[in-house]
Amino acid sequence: MGVTVRFMGTAAFEILSANGKRVLIDPYLDDNPVSPLKVADIDHLDLLLVTHGAVDHLGDAFALMRRIPGLTLVCGADVRGFLMKRGIESERLVAVPWGMMVEQAGIRVRPVYARHWSFIQDSDGAVFSSTPLGFIVYADDDIGIYHSGDSALYGDMKLYGELYHPRVGLINVGVPREHRGAAHGVDQYLTGEMTAREAAAAARWWDVEYAIPCHHDDPELPEIAEFRRILEADRKSNGKGPIPVILSPGEQFSI
């Protein structure tokens, strides 16, 4: 059985592993206008991952944990505390810091550093903050899928390529057409956490075989097109480098 990655818009991805496990990362679904998958559509899920506490990444984690009683969530300490406050059982919430690999539901997950922030404020004013994460998800013994979360570019990404050899990179590029900057007091972001040039550098450093840009709601956005152009130019000039795979929300890619 192969491995399938399906994009839901923004940073939401569904992974079907080689052993038939269904994993969902950053489940921003119901309020995501481009996601074809909604919470009401999900009757079975083996593992849920959340990179950080932003509303467009934490998304519908609470609703999914309520809907699927046996579901386990791997996350940071802030997401764990927030969901415990809302009544989710502590034993179903696996908080991990950078570097401490775990196995849940038969899937190995390696958390890595994300250069970003993670902050959640509940309706009563309670605040939860901790370290944001990226994840390398082992969908098969030789297929590591690296989800960067909302990380900016940083030099240690080179080490992940050398040490962990992920084959697929889910890389945040630019900002969605319908961005949420106003919620953070920013009228307009001039760039996302990684520009096309920075994300292409990350893909090279990770030495992935396939690079899938995310954090967008439209594959025709200029930064996505530029990301593709840069990586295709690399391959044309030297015959190697990550293969860009551009997905619209709802589309999938199989290995």
Greatest pairwise CA separation for the chain in angstroms = 56
Pairing mode, if any, of strands 133-140 and 210-214?
A: unpaired
Give the pLDDT mean for 9-14: 97
Domains located in the chain, CATH noted: 4-249 (3.60.15.10)
* Rounded Cα–Cα distance for residues 170 and 173 (Å): 9
Give buried/exposed letters for 206-242 (b at 16+ CB in 10 A, else e): bbbbbbbbbbbbeeebebbebbbebbeebeeeeeebb
* Rounded Cα–Cα distance for residues 25 and 11 (Å): 8
Query: Residue 69: CB partners within 8 Å, gap ≥ 6?
Result: none
pLDDT (tens digit per residue) in 110-126? 999 999 999 999 999 99
Q: How confident is the model at residue 174 (pLDDT cuts 50, 70, 90)?
A: confident
- Tokens representing residue 90 in the block: 């502590």
- What is the pTM for the complete model shown? 0.95
Residue 183 confidence (pLDDT): 62
* Rounded Cα–Cα distance for residues 191 and 171 (Å): 15
Instruction: Look at the block and give the residue holding tokens 């001039």.
Output: 190
| Chain center to CA of 206 | 15
Give the pLDDT mean for 131-160: 97
